[in-house]
Amino acid sequence: MTSSSTPASGSPRPPGHRRPLRRLTARGRGEEHRVATPLELFFDLCFVVAIAQAGIQLVHAVAESHAGQGILDYAMVFFAIWWAWMNFTWFASAYDNDDVLYRVVTLIQIAGVLVLAAGVSRAFEDHEYLAVVLGYVIMRLALVGQWLRVARSSRGPERRMALRYAGGVLLCQIGWLGLLVLPEDARPWLFLVMAILEMCVPPYAERNHPTSWHPHHIAERYGLFTIIVLGETIAAATVAVKTGIDENDALGDVVPIAAGGLLIIFAAWWIYFVVPIHGHLRSNRQAFLWGYGHYVVFASAAAIGAGLEVAVEQTVGKAHISTLAASAAVTLPTALYLLTVWVLHSRYFKVGISQQLVLPTAALLVICCTFLGDWAVLVAGVVTALAVVTGETLTARRAARGYGTTAESPLA
């Protein structure tokens, strides 16, 4: 691997010295000032369009008493969005050379997710996956092209790694075509098999030669996407509250939901960013577990917004479900989010049993809030906020006693 200070490393050069086409070679893992690029931020925003569409359809399914099928469809569509985003993110962290061809191929991937987003409603309502599969295949074939560029620019183990990636991704796309021809009952099983096979490609490809992903860059990219997803959650909940007030004059009824939802989302942000995780992404094994686990983090964060919409619709009489079901639409994804963040981060910041129990206890209490009727969302929001306060208080006391720093937070 070449040094990040050399031209071959793919590190940014002064604009006057850039060539429109350059070799796609590995960047240095220790490269300084490695941050998210404007293209990556644009990429994230376009992907959130697809997440928003999945959330809208989840709301409709739950509100019409089809929660089981809706959650299954949501899990399948969200996997396609998340997996394509994640593969691009890790590839870009190791190989982004920002030449013209790299940008064009990235824009093709963006076009793919927009095609996927356009097909989300038909996937939920009619179980017609043509547009979803087409959009996914566009994104994945574009990534295959990037890996072939790496193979052409590399030798030895790195070339073999790139070819394994290209071959593995390409073969998986053939399997996904089964969603278009298999009976409806068989599709969830095909999805399960293909999702596992897709997730096996990176460990297989990198078993002898890991890519030179940048820990700080990866942590920043995941953090930014978390912020964008939480922002979409706030936007969806705000629209639902506004609709409830404008169309049903139900200000008093929706205020507790709005207040509780805001507390949940604020706490979700605080809990995720309370520790600097990039310093603990040292090995591929750690990185794979952490990166894969974010499927649940992102999916549950987006589902919180959908749940808040369902709660508002049920309150104003537009949803054909019980108060218990509407409350569960908020409390269950919130608890799942808390538990997943705890599982992903706790092994790096173990600072005592009492501190480690903050998030699991909060998740359990949030689930119990499901049975509180009209006050369920507000109380769940208070519980998550108290989890933040408790965690910060315990951390401050530990620091004052000289047992650790504020970076060692129980909320991780």
Mean pLDDT along residues 253-281: 86
Dist CA 217 CA 192 (whole Å): 30
Same domain, 274 and 130: no
- pTM exceeds 0.95: no
| Final residue before a domain boundary, out of 176, 205, 234 | 205
Residue 30 lies in a domain: no
Residue 20 lies in a domain: no
Residues 6+ apart with CB under 8 A from 210: 284
Dist CA 228 CA 203 (whole Å): 28
Same domain, 265 and 196: no
pLDDT in tens, 85-144: 999 999 999 998 888 999 999 999 999 999 999 999 999 998 899 999 999 999 999 999
Same domain, 189 and 231: no
Containing domain of residue 316, as a range? Answer: 215-400
pLDDT in tens, 171-216: 999 999 988 988 988 999 999 999 999 999 999 999 888 888 888 8
Dist CA 382 CA 259 (whole Å): 9
Residue 230 lies in a domain: yes
Dist CA 200 CA 198 (whole Å): 5
pLDDT in tens, 211-234: 888 888 998 999 999 999 999 999
Angstrom CA distances, 42 to 107, 225, 277, 343, 407, stand at 10, 11, 24, 30, 31
Under 8 Å between Cβ of 55 and 302: yes
Residue 152 lies in a domain: yes
For residue 19, pLDDT over 80 is answered with no
**Both structure tokens of 162:** 């790139």
Same domain, 135 and 65: yes
Same domain, 230 and 357: yes
Angstrom CA distances, 150 to 24, 177, 203, 307, 311, stand at 5, 27, 18, 42, 48
Dist CA 71 CA 87 (whole Å): 24
**For the domain that residue 305 is a member of, what is the CATH number?**
1.20.1410
254-61-371 Cα angle (round to 5): 50
Nearest to 92 by CA among 26, 189, 182: 26
Nearest to 341 by CA among 359, 319, 314, 328: 359
Residue 23 lies in a domain: no
Residue 147 lies in a domain: yes
Same domain, 49 and 192: yes
| Final residue before a domain boundary, out of 161, 180, 205 | 205
Same domain, 138 and 200: yes
| Final residue before a domain boundary, out of 155, 175, 205 | 205
pLDDT in tens, 26-60: 887 777 878 899 999 999 999 999 999 999 999 99
pLDDT in tens, 331-389: 999 999 999 998 887 656 656 677 778 889 999 999 999 999 889 999 999 999 999 89
Total domains, the chain = 2
